[in-house]
């Protein structure tokens, strides 16, 4: 199932299913680009409702340098354990939204990521049981202010600014997302990042076990699993599309106000 949260024409927030034009489950190409949303016996045109982030996280736990080639392009050594940092709820943005780039910064980068959405409150999860707490997967962009990230240790200015974590458009349940799911980012239609889930240094079960050793994860929390090589700067007017096999396509724009 491809679950989607949206605000209907009456202003009510609903959770429906993103399906294709025939009412069948949406494929990767449909979710986020066409099809229809089904809820309560009615269908809605995605272009005529507000598509919301697929979850409402209390926190996003992000993983740094979880692809070897990205570590190379950042001139960093491979980590011997997952590198963790946080994005707060104010960073969440939705499919189809516009991300305002921080003023006065020379370089703000895009980073395509696969988001793991947690389905239940959990702590001290064993790696062998980790997938039991996963509700599904979504697309994410880790928008990164490099000017400040490269100057500070805690990355608050670099990673936690408003709308720095577009999410969506859907939450795809785990059976839809292959173990080697393709992850791509296109900037203004040109492919800039292309990799797959099976090249993660630390796979999803290991990440869940490590994170829950230190903190409780709540329903709706997101683990951003890291970005592959090919990150680069955003400019005013850019359009970013992240596509994950089995999930769909998340698109947002960027602007300088």
Per residue in 84-107, pLDDT (tens digit) is: 999 999 999 999 999 999 999 999
- 175-221 per-position pLDDT tens digit: 999 999 999 999 999 999 999 999 999 999 999 999 999 999 999 99
The DSSP-derived string for 91-133 is GEEETT-EEEPPTT-S-EEE-EEEEEEE-S-BSS--GGGGGGG
Which has the closest alpha carbon to 212: 53, 67, 82? 82
Question: In residues, how long is the chain?
Answer: 257
- Centroid of chain to Cα 48: 23
Beta-bridged to residue 92, according to DSSP, are: 165
Helices H / strands E in the chain, number of each: 4, 20
- Where do runs of H (alpha helix) occur along 5-94? 68-73
Instruction: Say what the pLDDT of residue 17 is.
Output: 96
Residue 155 structure tokens: 């990355």
76 pLDDT tier (thresholds 50, 70, 90): confident
Please state, rounded to an integer, the average pLDDT across all residues of the chain: 95
Which has the closest alpha carbon to 32: 254, 255, 247, 257? 247
Q: What domains sit in the chain, N to C, each tagged with a CATH number?
A: 2-51 (no CATH), 60-255 (3.90.850.10)
Report, in angstroms and rounded to the nearest whole number, the Rg of the chain calculated over CA atoms. Answer: 17
The position carrying tokens 């993983």 is 63
Instruction: Say what the pLDDT of residue 207 is.
Output: 98
Q: Check whether the bond before 254 is cis (ω within 30° of 0).
A: no
Mean local confidence (pLDDT), 48-56 = 96
Residue 16 structure tokens: 């429906």
Beta-carbon contacts of 190 under 8 Å, excluding residues fewer than 6 positions away, are none
29 pLDDT tier (thresholds 50, 70, 90): low
Largest CA distance in the chain: 53
Residue 11 CA to residue 132 CA, distance in Å, equals 34
Residue 183 CA to residue 168 CA, distance in Å, equals 14
- Residue 74 · residue 229 · CB < 8 Å: no
- Quick count: other Cβ atoms within 10 Å of Cβ 78? 11
Residue 96 structure tokens: 């189809």
Q: Check residues 131 and 69 and name the one with the higher pLDDT.
A: 131
Phi, psi (degrees; rounded to nearest 5) at 78? -65, 135
257 pLDDT tier (thresholds 50, 70, 90): confident
Mean local confidence (pLDDT), 158-171 = 97
CA dihedral sign of residues 222, 112, 184, 98: positive
Mean local confidence (pLDDT), 144-170 = 96
């Amino acid at each position: 199932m491809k679950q989607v949260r949206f605000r209907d024409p009456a202003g009510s927030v609903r959770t429906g299913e993103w399906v294709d034009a025939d009412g069948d489950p949406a494929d990767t190409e449909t979710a986020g680009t066409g099809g229809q949303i089904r809820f309560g016996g009615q269908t809605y045109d995605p272009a005529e409702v507000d598509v919301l982030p697929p979850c409402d996280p209390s926190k996003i736990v992000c993983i740094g340098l979880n692809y070897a080639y990205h570590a190379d392009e950042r001139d960093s050594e491979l980590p011997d354990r997952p590198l963790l940092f946080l994005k707060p709820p104010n960073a969440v943005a939705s499919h189809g939204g516009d991300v305002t780039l921080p003023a006065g910064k020379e370089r703000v980068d895009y980073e395509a990521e696969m988001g793991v959405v947690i389905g239940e409150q959990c702590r001290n999860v064993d790696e062998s049981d980790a997938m039991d707490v996963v509700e599904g997967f979504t697309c994410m962009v880790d928008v990164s202010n490099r000017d400040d990230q490269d100057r500070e240790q805690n990355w608050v200015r670099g990673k936690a600014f408003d709308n720095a974590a577009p999410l969506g458009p859907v939450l795809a349940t785990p059976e839809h997302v292959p173990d080697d799911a393709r992850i791509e980012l296109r900037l203004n239609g040109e492919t800039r990042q292309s990799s797959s889930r099976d090249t993660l240094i630390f796979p999803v079960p290991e990440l869940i076990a490590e994170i829950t050793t230190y903190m409780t994860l709540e329903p709706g929390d997101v683990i951003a699993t890291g970005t592959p090589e090919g990150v680069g700067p955003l400019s005013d007017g850019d359009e970013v599309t992240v596509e994950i096999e089995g999930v769909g396509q998340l698109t947002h724009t960027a602007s300088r106000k």
